Structure 1
């Protein structure tokens, strides 16, 4: 998994890296100190999670967040020294997932990071399997496919995955695909439910609907409608 830390203050970036690294040793951390550098990295490397300072010279953090979100679906945590309701509202409208204030307290940072703990494994082999899932979830993907890519026995991979992640590999893949479905339903108005199913690796719209309702208690169509109503309420 790739994380990008963006702040024009080098010390702030180093502190974030220092706090994150021990908890997630198999994640790759990239650093950027301005908008241009951040965009160059994000265009070359798929970034799953971004910590972005809201106040930077030139292009603001909010403007940069829009640009980063336009590249692909990524999660952004805004970081700022100022507690501003206006900034928080704007960040939510852009699709920012969370908000941290400086100086960053480790407990607050871990509260945010732990939301993505299921993306993480301290076992390097399992982290490789997770990374393959995160990169290829939209394709037909089996335990055998993943095991072949990391040169291990499929049975061993299944057993080891369950042991370390406390969830079966296929169940995890399905859960991750559903995460991606919720993102697309909320943000991509032009895609039909069938197109969302295909983009997220489901064999059919029917299979997606069954899996979605089992997990969330509502259909994908109902979820999309609620998301739109929520956004309209925020903008009113």
Structure 2
């Protein structure tokens, strides 16, 4: 992907180029020009994919440049730079079907969002070096990654990245091709993740470090990045998870006498998977849900044996959700140090 930056102010031009270098998702060339006339020459020579241009410039302004570009290069995506006092010019630019506009001073996040939207608008245009199988595998891999990130399953995300790494090695991509492809991979992942999180922007998302100098390092960086995203998802959900656990505790209190009460049924009643409910319950309550249910039932049985003298032990066991009396007697003694009968005789 080639980008041309056009602005008569050197500081702004160089600043944008620095931000674009930080973006690095598939960018192979960044060119610059100080006015519209020079930009036309650069466009005819280098054939950029994206043009980022200021509006008010000497010799040929941005609006005239866009008009000339649209006549000759209709496929070129154009991003307009503007100040707050230039909105009338921006409206004129929008009539030329520019892809988007950026208000000065431009931030990294704003630039990332605008470039990402252009790339995601027509992924096939930017993935021409990939064969059909790789594109399909990439989409499937990204979908699986997002699903397991949302399930907060780091072990599974590591396996998925290892599988994708193996696919890339099999295809024999060069280091440059791999970096470009992983740029597209990141765009797809980020876009699908934001949809699942129901976020309009990724301002608060962890940043993928662009520090790798080899394929091995690149995929290790991705594992670390996904771990940080999972932590972000977990922390974002913390209040919601606490509410879910409180709801589950209420269900256990109301249904502990039902011998069929279990993790799977509780998860289904909350619209969750059993592994996910198990995970968040342990995080909030600091113990497994099966242990909590068992301990809750035992405590209720202990209370009945202590305060309901006529109660028969086997009936108490059934009332507290234990259908197997020998098992009930065994774990009761394990928890309280005496058998149900001994406890009843001692406290009756």
Q: Secondary structure at the match of 1:3?
A: strand
Aligned to 1:173: none
Between structures 1 and 2, the one with greater helix share: 2
Unaligned segments of structure 1, at least 5 residues = 120-128, 134-141, 145-152, 168-236
State the TM-score, normalizing by the size of structure 1.
0.51
In structure 2, the partner of 1:46 is 47
1:111 to 2:113 alignment = yes
Out of 55, 79, 82, the position equivalent to 1:77 is: 79
Output aligned runs, 1:1-236, within 5 Å.
1-24=1-24, 26-27=26-27, 28-72=29-73, 73-118=75-120, 130=127, 132=129, 156=171, 165=185
Equivalent pair of 1:43/1:71 in contact (CA under 8 Å): no
| Structure 1 residue 110, shift from structure 2 partner | 1.8
Larger relative contact order (CA 8 Å, sep ≥ 6): 1
Alpha carbons 1:3, 1:49 under 8 Å: kept? yes
The aligned length equals 146
TM-score under structure 2 length normalisation: 0.36
Shift of 1:143: 5.6
Partner Cα distance (2:48, 2:183) in 1: 27
CA distance in 2, matches of 1:70, 1:15: 29
Structure-2 change in CA distance of 1:52 and 1:154 (3 Å): same
Please give the per-residue CA displacement for 1:15-70, whole angstroms capped at 9, x wherever unaligned. 00111102216411001111221111111122111110011012211010111122
Matches of 2:182 and 2:7, distance apart in 1: 37
Deviations 1:115-136 (A, max 9, x none): 14559xxxxxxxxx83658xxx
Structure with the greater alpha carbon radius of gyration: 2
- Give the secondary-structure state (helix, strand or coil) at the position aligned to 2:127: helix
